[in-house]
Amino acid sequence: MKKFRFLFVCLLSLVGISPSVHAEDSDKPETVVYLPEPQKNIGVPLMKALNDRKTTREFSVRKINDQDLSNLLWAAVGINRPNGKLTIPTARDARDLSVYIIKQGGAYRYNAEDNTLELVNPAALIYMAAKQGFVKDADALLVYVSNNENQDYRAMHAGSAYQNVGLYAASAGMSNVVLGMIDRDMLHKELHLTEKDFVVIGQALGWPKSK
């Protein structure tokens, strides 16, 4: 299905209808955002990232650019082998975790196969999703969604992903906070999820305030 969607987008481009430009080129949200390739040869040593990993609840006004978005989404649930397997392990190789990213410009679903973001809702849902004041200052809210029937597995899979993102954030010097306190019912509705989908947890991201 994802392949058909991608082919459809390519077809539109061929006939001159551009469904997307660049995430920051226009006020109007793009239907599809093509992310740059994730950078897999950057970052601090793993032991330093582990040492620096922490929760930060303060964010500056600096925006996360598409390169950082690509890197952190790949860290979350990117494909890291030719057989399609992921940066996170999943029980029975279920690969059940989807990541949505909510920014000012709208809510998008990350497609790891073609490294794109697909618009699912143009509203800035971050304000509606947040139950704590500091979240409104974050530039992005990641929402981890799973359709795994096993609630232990889906929690573990989301935990692996948010830890990967937390380590990427530590390496890149970004701020992040895992958020159990989010409005799951609202997100389920506004992200147009199916009955089988479950909003597991969120993670707010941005750049730290300079000291």
Ligand X SMILES: Cc1cc2nc3c(=O)[nH]c(=O)nc-3n(C[C@H](O)[C@H](O)[C@H](O)COP(=O)(O)O)c2cc1C
Binding residues for ligand X, per CB under 6 A? 54-55, 57, 132, 177-181, 201
- Report the SS3 class of residue 106: strand
- Residue placing its CB nearer to ligand X in the complex, 9 or 200: 200
Q: At closest approach, how far in Å is the CB of 126 from ligand X?
A: 14
Query: Residue 22's closest CA among 120, 116, 85, 148?
Result: 116
- Residue placing its CB nearer to ligand X in the complex, 112 or 177: 177
Q: At closest approach, how far in Å is the CB of 202 from ligand X?
A: 8
Residue 43 is encoded by which pair of tokens?
């970052």
- Report the SS3 class of residue 175: strand
Q: At closest approach, how far in Å is the CB of 57 from ligand X?
A: 6
Q: How many residues does the chain have?
A: 211
- Report the SS3 class of residue 112: coil
- Residue placing its CB nearer to ligand X in the complex, 101 or 141: 141
Q: At closest approach, how far in Å is the CB of 182 from ligand X?
A: 7
Distances (CA, A) of 155 to 21, 24, 79: 35, 33, 20
- Residue placing its CB nearer to ligand X in the complex, 181 or 186: 181
